[in-house]
């Protein structure tokens, strides 16, 4: 089993003032949730945390939501936030472990020393730990991007995976969207899933208290969905956020190099010619 990709609230609390720990609020919400992550961050965040906007630190010309930016843009943005080489980056969010997207993004840019706060801000506050509303004053820090292509998949690579069967596709969307029984939240997308994909809704890997399930329970969830944990895996979802939660869960199971399909269903389901299957897997 490799190093766990999550840290506890107690672990972070003991290291709040450590100079090599950099804390990042990477909260993100669907429009239907009617929550403003930037405003919530300004009202209360873990002391010293900076805000990472996945919709701005992105390829804003792609036409798809929060796609990975170029390494140069990523480095420029995080350097200005005081995030860089030699630091341990701890990412958290306001609920649902969606900070996994930013965890994956840092690793896709070559920064492996990044972890997710298990339970996020909700658990932190529930335990009576400190928050502040002070704007940060980060000192710029050098960040060396080293793009890790093995952690990223595009449409052409997913098509080849379907044709060859060499990589398993694991979809993090809710079951009703996977089967096309429920509509997609984004307009203009077909319902269903990619041929051969397995369905592991991201909610099924998260415990009631918002923490990631322990390894034995995670293993049971993936195996029940027909995922072979010893074979290559690519995760997908609506727009690459909850797919990253599955990648995080698989990292806890000793599979740290799982790839994420960045465009996910927003790209795939929005095209007229990509193969789509409806009904259960």
- The Cα 21–Cα 38 span in angstroms is 22
Of the residues 189, 237, 243, 260, only one is catalytic, namely 237
- The Cα 176–Cα 163 span in angstroms is 25
Strands 114-117 and 88-92: parallel
237 classed as catalytic: yes
**Is the CA virtual torsion 212, 189, 277, 153 positive or negative?**
negative
DSSP state letters, 187-221: TTPPPSB-TT-EE--GGGGB-TTSSBPPHHHHHHH
Write b or e for each residue in 56-93: b if 16 or more Cβ atoms lie within 10 A of its Cβ, otherwise e: ebbeeeeebbbbbbebebbbebbbebbbbeebebbbbb
Q: What is the three-class DSSP state of 22? A: strand
CA separation (Å) from 239 to 28, 127, 204?
Answer: 12, 32, 18
Residues annotated catalytic, as ranges? 237
């Amino acid at each position: 089993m490799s190093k766990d990709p999550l840290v506890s609230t107690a672990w972070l609390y003991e290291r709040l003032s450590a100079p090599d720990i950099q804390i990042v609020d990477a909260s993100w919400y669907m429009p239907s949730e009617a929550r403003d992550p930037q405003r919530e961050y300004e009202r209360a965040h873990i002391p010293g945390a900076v805000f990472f906007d996945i919709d701005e630190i992105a390829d804003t010309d792609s036409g798809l939501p929060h796609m990975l930016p170029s390494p140069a843009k990523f480095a420029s943005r995080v350097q200005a936030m005081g995030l860089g080489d030699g630091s341990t980056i701890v990412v958290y969010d306001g609920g649902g472990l969606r900070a996994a997207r930013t965890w994956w993004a840092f690793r896709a840019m070559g920064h492996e020393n990044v972890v997710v706060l298990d339970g996020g801000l909700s658990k932190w506050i529930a335990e009576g730990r400190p928050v502040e509303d002070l704007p940060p004053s980060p000192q710029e820090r050098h960040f060396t991007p080293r793009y890790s292509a093995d952690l990223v998949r595009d449409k052409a690579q997913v098509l080849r995976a379907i044709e060859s069967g060499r990589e398993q596709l694991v979809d993090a969307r809710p079951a009703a969207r996977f089967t096309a029984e429920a509509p997609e939240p984004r307009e203009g997308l077909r319902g269903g899933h990619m041929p051969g994909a397995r369905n592991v809704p991201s909610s099924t890997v998260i415990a009631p208290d918002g923490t990631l399930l322990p390894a034995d329970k995670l293993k049971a969830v993936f195996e029940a969905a027909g995922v072979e944990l010893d074979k290559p895996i690519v995760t997908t979802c609506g727009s690459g956020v909850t797919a990253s939660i599955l990648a995080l869960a698989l990292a806890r199971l000793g599979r740290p190099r799982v790839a994420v399909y960045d465009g996910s269903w927003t790209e795939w389901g929005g095209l007229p010619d990509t193969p789509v299957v409806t009904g259960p897997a």
